[in-house]
Structure formats: structure tokens, C-alpha cells
Amino acid sequence: MWGVYYGMQAKYKFLFGAVLVGGTVGFLMTSGIKETGVYFLTPSELAAKVEADPSFRDVGVKMGARVVHGSIERDVGTQTVTFEVTDGVQTYPVVYRGLAPDTFTDDVDVVVEGRLEPDGTFRATSLLAKCGSRYETTPEA
Amino acid sequence: MTTLGQLALWIALLVSAWGTFVGFYGGLTRRPELIESARRSTYAVAGVIAVASIGLLVAILNHDFNVAYVASYTSRDLPTVYLLSAFYGGQSGSMLFWALVLAIFGALAQLLSSRKYDHLLPYVAGTTQAVLLFFVATTLFAANPFERLPFTPADGQGLNPQLQNPGMVVHPPMLYLGYISITIPFAFAVAALMSKRLDTGWLHAIRKWTIVSWLFLSIGITLGMWWAYVELGWGGYWAWDPVENASFLPWLTMTAFLHSVMIQEKRGMLKKWNMVLITLSFFLSIFGTFITRSGIISSVHSFAQSSVGYYFLGGLAFLLVGMAWLLYTRLDMLESESHLESMVSREASFLFNNLILVGIAFSVFWGTMFPMISELVRGSQVTVGPPFFNQVNIPLGLALLGLTGIGPLIAWRKASVGNLRRQFAVPVISGGIAAAVLTAIGMGHFYAILTISLSVFVVATVLQEFVRGVGARHRLHGENLAQAFARLVGRNRRRYGGYIVHLGIVAYFVAFTGQAFKVDREASLLPGEQVEVESPFGHTLTFTHLGVSQYDQLNRLVSAATVEVAKDGERVGVIKSEKRQHFTCQAPVDPCPANLRQRSFEPSTEAGIRSDLLEDIYVVYAGSVEGTEEAVYRFTLNPLVWWLWFGGFVLVVGGVVTLWPGTTVRATPQGDTQGGYAAQLVESKSA
């Protein structure tokens, strides 16, 4: 095979290299999406998915929802935050261990990543809070 | 003043429409009075938009809260510098800011370009005015900063405290300057296509503009990293967030363009590709502005929330269709003048550099848009995060780093074995030694070893170039070493400025490597209690909680927690980190009594950072247990972060060297075939 390669015109060699680079990018991307892609669901969508296929519980998901007013309880000693999130239809209790971001308060939109426990609690491994609806943009340029 | 501003915007709309028309029509008919009118329209529109901008600034500085924009983004107690930054802090203001900067650049392009580009300039004026027409129209009809409220609130809502940071005052304008200045090279590309003058003339005309916009983008992105690092308190500087990616995309394609134009200048290749790259860069800069402002990434549903989105979609579609038509009708004029002769040549290494850069851009674009794409295709959103971007981009980035060393030194056309040995023997051996040493001392991380070794390789290629160049001047012209160095760089600013920029990029890679060894530790401490953290460099750091203090500062209440840091038992110093609660006062009294204070916004974090060449100690005070002095901390040991800011500095130095005005001695094409500058000198001397 390499003998053929050395005999080729530079232009075709380059095309060969280009296909190689393109193929690598494509492969890295598809495998990357397969391995690291995470569903982003609302509480209702999560409920529907789990109902249709109970094994879906074991798949890590991201859930975007709003924090229920007054539901936040912080235990500073164990650095655990418990709260409820809702999309107006479905509500889930969430447990998160770690430091909550500054923007995390009542009624903000949050994105929690983690999985749904058999008892119906969502155990979050990450917690992102978006700025309140008062701002039309995220705090960036 | 807002009435005047509003009026000025309407005039700007008319002038830019006129400028678009006479620019293109005058270019086609070559009628001097139309061409002159197009040129003058760029000056006029810059003046008119400046008036509109002053109108908005005056409204902000006078606290005219009847203006919706002023009420949404400022308040009476906001420090003046943040009042100024509120001009571009919100959507409609940032649109006006875009228009202002573009108008100024458009006028400068006419003013500063040499007369020898007269055949291009009317079209350049037409194109900048057309883009301006789009921004002024969008500002007027979909995001008007002069819109008034039906009532006048007593005070405004204030600026988000996370934006009340010096980094945030300069980061957005830098990034915008980068985004916007891409319009000028793009306008020249359109002009070259329209006038069918597709020689290298337009490339010479845009050289400096391209570097300027690349430099502003780089500075803007780096400042954004710095802001995220000191202000957001999560201990990192890059999260592959859609907004960050939006700024990274045009940077990637501009970097590709910066390199591929050299191939066209030197060898007459890649003409179509360069047109595609500059169009793509311009597209991505508009796209970046758009997704920062529209929130389209989080969901397709948020698209309809503001009509600005439809304007942008229309504008972007028009851009793609228009450029596709222009390129298609001129394809035969963009044929290559020469062909790739060997895979072992500078052309080939630049081609691969381009492929990889565009590959990275594509994967970043795809990953950023994936939630939207998957929602459209499959009905439910799938997101990809940092693991995806890292998995794809680390190998590609490393390949690129290797090419950074190879590209500038390998011969044009076809490198001989002699050339390869002469240029790469020392650097390859240096890189190899670095890899062996790192493995021997037990750095068991493949990518990290590879990155550092490649960095050593690239630095060695650059140093070798400097040493050989200085040596050659010293021998041939009898200059002393300092003179020789100054003249070497001074006479070849583009080449040596480029080398310096490459050194800066290496520093970024070194800093990225540090992220693989980051250590995190959370702890809740009573005063006097301490916690130990193992540094990746083998030290033990001890943090002792000293206490929490509270005090007023400007428009905020600050809670500051202090820790004492000791390294291997020896005291290093204290680090203070803050939690800031901003408040507005319900009466104009200073200082504001506690009962009139109203908390505004969520609290913001000010991380305490102690930085040295090896690692940053990064302390975040997350809050206290109610009513006590027990504090919750996160301690992060962040290796090699310093090199990121240093890399940014080096990059700017390199950029300034490249841009420094004056004539560069142009190398003869033959003189550059097999070696660097030293070889040229020898050849020109013997000729």
C-alpha cells in the first residue's frame, strides 16, 4: 500500500492526507457524541421516558427546570443542598452535594445533571443556575 | 438627547443605504462622482452614528430612567466606569456599539488604504455600508436602545454584579473589535470578486486588518478567560460554553486564513479556499454576535422571544447566497497558478494546518449546535459538554502544535533531506529529551508529556531561527549581537513577529496541560481549623481559616474570609476571598442606612488567587454557617495557569511587532526555498 502511496502525485497524496484528517475528525466526533452525549430533558419528558422504559433511570441525564419557591434546604455541615424543581407539570426532589453557584436561589432556572433514584429523587452531580428572567442574556459579551 | 439619537439613527439608515448603492453602482460604472460620494458616505455615517452613541451615553450618564435601556442596565449608585460599560452591556446597546465601531472601521479603511487600491475601494465602501445598513436597521426596528417606558422608574435595575469587574469593561469591546474588524478583509474580498481583480493586490491591502482583527479576537478571548477565572469562582477559565465557543469559531477560521494567504501570496494557490475562509470568518463573527444575543443555543424555542433572531437569520442567509453566487460566477478566475509538488513542503504543512483548524472549528460548531440539531432531528435534546470538546480537540490541537514548529522552517515546494536535517535535528532531539525526562520523573500522563515535548520542539525551532539570524548578521555585517537582533526583527517584522506569536501560543498549550493536574478540595472550617491539600508538584499546602469580616464598599456589602497558607509547614501568606452582596439604597443617602438597603441581584464571588509560575492557589469562600464564623471554602490548586496570561502578553508583543509600521525588506522568492532568514542572507550576499 505504501508503495502505491509513494508513487502518487503530491496532489493525490494530499487528498489522501485530507481524507485521513477528515476521517479522524469525523471519528472523534461521532465517538465523542456517543460516549459523552447526555439527554437534556424537562421533568415531564424525564417522567415520560422513565415510564416508557424503566431502564432509562440508569442513564445519566440533564434536567432543565425551575426551582420551587421556598424548597431550598442547605446543610452546610455536609455541604448538601436539597430542593425541588418543576416545569409546572412534573416536580422532582433534587439532592446535590457540593457548592451551589451564587446565582442559585428560589425561582431560578437550573440545569441539574445526574440520575433518577428508584425512590424518585434526582441525585445531581452538577448544578448550574441561570440568571433570573430579569436579564435577557447570559453574563457574557 | 434620545430624540437626537433616534433621529441620527434614521439618518444613518438613509446614508448607509445610499452608500451601499453608490458603492456598488459607482464601482461598476467607474463614475468618479459616485465613487467620491461612496467614500464620503462612510465618513458621514461614522459621524452620524457617533452622534447617536453620544445620545445614548448622555441618557445613561444623566440617569434618564424613562429610557427602557437605561432603566434595565444602570442605577444611580453604579460607578461611572460601569455606566460607560452599560452602553454595550445589553442587547440593543451592543447593536449600536457594533454599528459605531463598524462605521469607524469603514471610514478608516477608506482613509488609510493606499491609492493603488482605488479599483477596490468603492466596493469596499459599498460592502461595509451594506453590513452597516443591516445593523442600523436591526437596531431601529428590533432592538432600539432609545425606546421609552410609559412611566419613569425612580431608579434603574442596575448592572449585573458579575459584569461589574474591570475585565468585563474591556473584554466585550475587545471581542467586538475583533468580530467587527473582520468585516474589512471580507469587504476587500467582495471588492476583489466584484471588480474581477483577483491578483494578490487585495491580500496586500488587508494584511494589517487581518492581523488587527485576529489580535483583538485573541485579546478578547483571553480577557474573557481571565474574567471567568477570577469572577465566576469555579476554578477554571474555559467551559466550552456556547458563548465562549462562538468567540472561538471565528478565531479558528481567521487563524487558518492568516496562514493560507501566505500560500496564495507566495505560490498563487488556494485562491478559492481563501475566499471561502474569509466568508466563513465573517459569517461566524456575525453568527457569534447573534448567538451571544439570542439564546438560540439553549433551545430552538427561545428563538421567537426576540425578533432580532429573524433579522440575523435573514442577513446570514443573504450573505451565504450572495457569496456563493459571486464565487460561482468567478470560479474560472480563481484557478491555481501552481500545484502542490511534495507532501514534505511548507505548502503541505500549511494545508494541513488549515484542514485541522477548520476541522476543530467544525467540531466546535457541531458540538455547540448539537442540542438544537438533535431536537430538530430526534425530538429530544442531547447535549455534549466539555468531555466531547476535549476528546475531539486535544488530539487535533496537538497535531496543530507540532505543525507550528514544522511550518515556518520547512522548505517551499519540496524539502530536501539536507533541509530537514539542518532545520529539525536540534528541535527534534530537544523534544525527545524533554519526553524522556518527563517520563523518567514519573509524569504518567500521555497527553501532558506529548504537549510539553511538542512545546519544547516548537520553542527550539523558534530559538534556532533567532540564533541563526543574529549569528548571520553578526558575521556578514559585523554588527554586535544587540544590533543584529534589533535589525533582524526590524527588517522582517512579519516573520519574527509571527515567531513571537507562536511562542505565545506555546505558552497557552503549556497552561492547558496544567488543567490535567488540577486538585480540588472543599472544606467547612471554624476559625483556627485547618485543612491540608496535596499539590501535584509534591508539596503539602495547609490552609488555616482566620475569620470572616464584613464591610461596605461602593454599592455593595462585602463579606471577606481569610485563610493563612503554609507550604510544607512554612508560612506563605494570607489569601482573602470575598462574597459580595450588592444593594440599592431606597433613599439618596450616603452611607446608606441598613433599613433602607434593598438586596439586588444574587451575591457574587471574588476568588482569592495567589499565583506563581508553577501553580495558582485558588480560594473560594462559599459562605458561612448562619450566625457563626464557620466558613465553607473550596481550595483549588491550579497548575501552570500563569502561563496563560503570559502567553497572552507574548502574543500581543508578537502582534505589535508584526504590525509596526514601516517597510519590510521583502525576501526574494528563490532565496527562501531551503532555509530560514540566515540562508537568505547568505544567498543575497553572494549574489
Check whether B456 has a pLDDT greater than 80: yes
Q: Is A39 in contact with B243 (Cβ distance < 8 A)?
A: no
Q: Is B632 in contact with A103 (Cβ distance < 8 A)?
A: no
Distances (CA, A) of B681 to B347, B476, B486, B488: 22, 8, 16, 10
Contacts of B172 in chain A (CB under 8 A): 141
pTM recorded for the entire structure: 0.90
The predicted pLDDT at position B444 comes to 83
Q: Is B630 in contact with A39 (Cβ distance < 8 A)?
A: no
Q: Is B387 in contact with A131 (Cβ distance < 8 A)?
A: no
Question: CB contacts < 8 Å between A and B, how many?
Answer: 146
The predicted pLDDT at position B295 comes to 57
Q: Is A76 in contact with B392 (Cβ distance < 8 A)?
A: no
A40 interfacial to chain B (CB closer than 8 Å): yes
Confidence of residue B580 (pLDDT cuts 50, 70, 90): confident
Contacts of B178 in chain A (CB under 8 A): none
Q: Which of A13, A32, A98 minimises the CB distance to B392?
A: A32
The predicted pLDDT at position B51 comes to 97
Please identify which residue in the block is written with the cell numbers 459571486.
B326
Check whether B246 has a pLDDT greater than 50: yes
Check whether B372 has a pLDDT greater than 90: no
Q: Which of A17, A125, A45 is nearest to B356 (CA)?
A: A17
Could you report the per-residue pLDDT of B423-435, keeping only the tens digit for each?
999 999 999 999 9
Distances (CA, A) of B549 to A100, B528, B559, B574: 22, 15, 6, 14
The predicted pLDDT at position B318 comes to 95
Could you report the per-residue pLDDT of A85-112, keeping only the tens digit for each?
998 889 999 999 887 877 788 888 888 8
The predicted pLDDT at position B28 comes to 94
Check whether B114 has a pLDDT greater than 90: no
Q: In terms of pLDDT, which residue wins out, B633 or A128? A: B633
Q: Is A141 in contact with B247 (Cβ distance < 8 A)?
A: yes
Which H or E element spans position A75?
A: strand A73-75
The predicted pLDDT at position B165 comes to 80
Q: Is B366 in contact with A135 (Cβ distance < 8 A)?
A: no
Check whether B485 has a pLDDT greater than 60: yes
The predicted pLDDT at position B302 comes to 44
Could you report the per-residue pLDDT of B44-58, keeping only the tens digit for each?
999 999 999 999 999
Q: Of A119-133, B1-15, B59-73, B190-204, which range is least confident?
A: A119-133
B363 interfacial to chain A (CB closer than 8 Å): yes
Q: Which three cell numbers stand for residue B79?
A: 460607578
Q: Which of A31, A76, A136 minimises the CB distance to B625?
A: A76
Radius of gyration, CA atoms only, chain A: 23
Q: Which of A18, A37, A135 minimises the CB distance to B384?
A: A37
State phi, psi for B412 to the nearest 5 degrees. -65, 165
Q: In terms of pLDDT, which residue wins out, B427 or B91? A: B427
Beta bridge partners of A110: A65, A129
B620 interfacial to chain A (CB closer than 8 Å): yes
A137 interfacial to chain B (CB closer than 8 Å): yes
Which residues touch B568 (CB under 8 Å, ≥6 apart)? B539, B540
Q: Which of B190, B414, B442 is nearest to B318 (CA)?
A: B190
Q: Report the C-alpha gap between B259 and B278 in whole angstroms.
A: 12
Mean pLDDT, rounded, for B313-335: 93
Q: Is B522 in contact with A98 (Cβ distance < 8 A)?
A: yes
Q: Report the C-alpha gap between A140 and B197 in whole angstroms.
A: 41
Q: Of B166-175, B262-271, B528-537, B673-682, which range is least confident?
A: B673-682
Q: What percent of chain B has pLDDT above 70?
A: 93
Q: Report the C-alpha gap between B114 and B125 in whole angstroms.
A: 14
Contacts of A36 in chain B (CB under 8 A): 384-385, 387-388, 391
ipTM: 0.80
SS (H, E, C) B488-518: HHHHCHHHHHHHHHHHHHHHHHHHHHHHHHC
Which H or E element spans position B621?
A: strand B615-624
DSSP string, B162-226: GG-SHHHHHHHHHHHHHHHHTHHHHHHHHHHHHHT--STHHHHHHHHHHHHHHHHHHHHHHHHHH
Mean pLDDT, rounded, for B333-350: 87
Check whether B548 has a pLDDT greater than 70: yes
B342 interfacial to chain A (CB closer than 8 Å): yes
Q: Is B30 helix (H, G, I), strand (E, B) or coil?
A: coil
B387 interfacial to chain A (CB closer than 8 Å): yes
DSSP string, B228-269: HHHHS-SS-S----HHHHHHHHHHHHHHHHHHHHHHHHHHS-
Closest chain A C-alpha to B433 CA, distance in angstroms = 28
Q: Is A37 in contact with B603 (Cβ distance < 8 A)?
A: no
A134 interfacial to chain B (CB closer than 8 Å): yes
B247 interfacial to chain A (CB closer than 8 Å): yes
A98 interfacial to chain B (CB closer than 8 Å): yes
Check whether B687 has a pLDDT greater than 50: no
The predicted pLDDT at position A5 comes to 57
Closest chain A C-alpha to B381 CA, distance in angstroms = 5
The predicted pLDDT at position A3 comes to 52
Mean pLDDT, rounded, for B286-315: 69
Mean pLDDT, rounded, for B100-106: 97
Q: Report the C-alpha gap between B564 and B572 in whole angstroms.
A: 8
Burial class (CB in 10 A: 0-12, 13-18, 19+), B488: buried
Q: Which of A58, A134, A70 is nearest to A106 (CA)?
A: A70
Q: Report the C-alpha gap between A78 and B276 in whole angstroms.
A: 55
Q: Which of B91, B359, B392 minimises the CB distance to A21?
A: B359
Q: Is B522 in contact with A13 (Cβ distance < 8 A)?
A: no
CB contacts under 8 A, B 513-572 vs A, are 522, 524
Could you report the per-residue pLDDT of A56-79, keeping only the tens digit for each?
777 788 888 889 988 888 877 677
The predicted pLDDT at position B253 comes to 97
Mean pLDDT, rounded, for B265-276: 92
The predicted pLDDT at position A55 comes to 78
Mean pLDDT, rounded, for B534-542: 92
DSSP string, B587-613: SS-SSPPGGGEEE-S--EEE-EEEE-S
